[in-house]
Amino acid sequence: MEIKRADFVTSLPAYRDFPGRGLPQIAIVGKSNVGKSSLINRLTRRNKLARTSATPGKTRLINVFLINEQFHLIDLPGYGFAKVDKQEKARWGKMMQDYFEASDELLHVFCLVDIRHDPTADDIQMNTFLRQMGIPFTVIATKCDKISRGARQKQLAPICRALLVQPWQIICFSSEDGTGRDQLLEEIDKVLTPEEEPEDIQDASDLSDEPETVQ
């Protein structure tokens, strides 16, 4: 897919209805500072679309972006930010839970982890949560410009072990040099294109729909 248009829609302190809601959604989750907002900017080629910061905990709101007037990208607030107190953590937890429970339009989640570090307990908890909820996800290893090409495969091993995925299922990404952008766009295409039903299943359902003939 090609991104022709990207618009900021709204920032929500708690998930609720917003103008234009109803289109498919893809959400982005990950530790604070992992590069969620930077990924949105690189993906859309709009440097200032999502606010980024070297200070972790920049995005404390649910930010909604409209892409190609076709789907919503949801930038969720990062977790694991050391400096927040218990109250703030509880608020974050409720915000996320409310989002995942209410977002009927959610098709897929991009789970971001820093390629240089082992996933944290929070990353594993998020992964378990998505599996339990039956929400499909793709793991994105961010900031891959920070390590050599040769070191990347090796770095993926602990991520695979912790998040129970295979190395080829992970997209290595860099907001700095654009590595993985095309692969991510392809993934979005796949997510947005519903798989065709295999023919034999189609036939069976056709049959069962047929009204009984009266002799």
Ligand X SMILES: Nc1nc2c(ncn2[C@@H]2O[C@H](COP(=O)(O)OP(=O)(O)OP(=O)(O)O)[C@@H](O)[C@H]2O)c(=O)[nH]1
Contacts with ligand X, residue ranges (CB under 6 A) = 30, 32-38, 52-54, 56-59, 78, 142-143, 145-146, 174-176
Task: State in angstroms the smallest separation of the CB of 126 from Mg ion.
Answer: 16
How far is residue 207 from each of residues 151, 198, 212, measured CA to CA in Å?
A: 55, 15, 10
Residue in 33, 41, 44, 59 binding Mg ion, rule: CB under 5 A: 59
Structure tokens at 24: 């498919």
**Burial bucket for residue 188 (CB in 10 Å: 0-12, 13-18, 19+):** buried
Angstrom distance (rounded) from CA 61 to CA 76: 7
Q: Which does 72 bind (CB under 5 to 8 A by kind): ligand X, Mg ion, none?
A: none
DSSP states of 161-181 as a string? Answer: HHHT--GGGPEE--TTT-TTH
Q: Nearest distance from residue 198's CB to ligand X, in Å?
A: 39
Residue 33 CB, nearest approach to ligand X (Å): 5
Q: How far is it, in rounded angstroms, from Cα 197 to Cα 135?
A: 20
Q: How far is the CB of 112 from Mg ion (least distance, A)?
A: 10
Residue 38 sits in the site that holds Mg ion (CB under 5 A): no
Whose CA is closest to 100, among 124, 69, 136? 136
Comparing CA positions, the residue from 84, 45, 85, 82 lying closest to residue 65 is 45
Position among 15, 28, 29, 37 found at the interface with Mg ion (CB under 5 A): 37
Closest to ligand X by CB, 57 vs 119, is 57
Query: Residue 78 or 119: which CB sits closer to ligand X?
Result: 78
- Asked whether the beta carbons of 116 and 32 are under 8 A apart, the reply is no
Q: How far is the CB of 177 from ligand X (least distance, A)?
A: 8
Judged by DSSP in three states, 31 sits in strand
Which C-beta is closer to Mg ion: that of 39 or that of 170? 39
Q: Which is nearer to Mg ion, 39 or 156 (CB)?
A: 39
Closer residue to ligand X, CB minimum distance, 38 or 138: 38
Nearer Cβ to ligand X (35/119)? 35
Residue numbers at the binding site for Mg ion (CB under 5 A): 36-37, 58-59
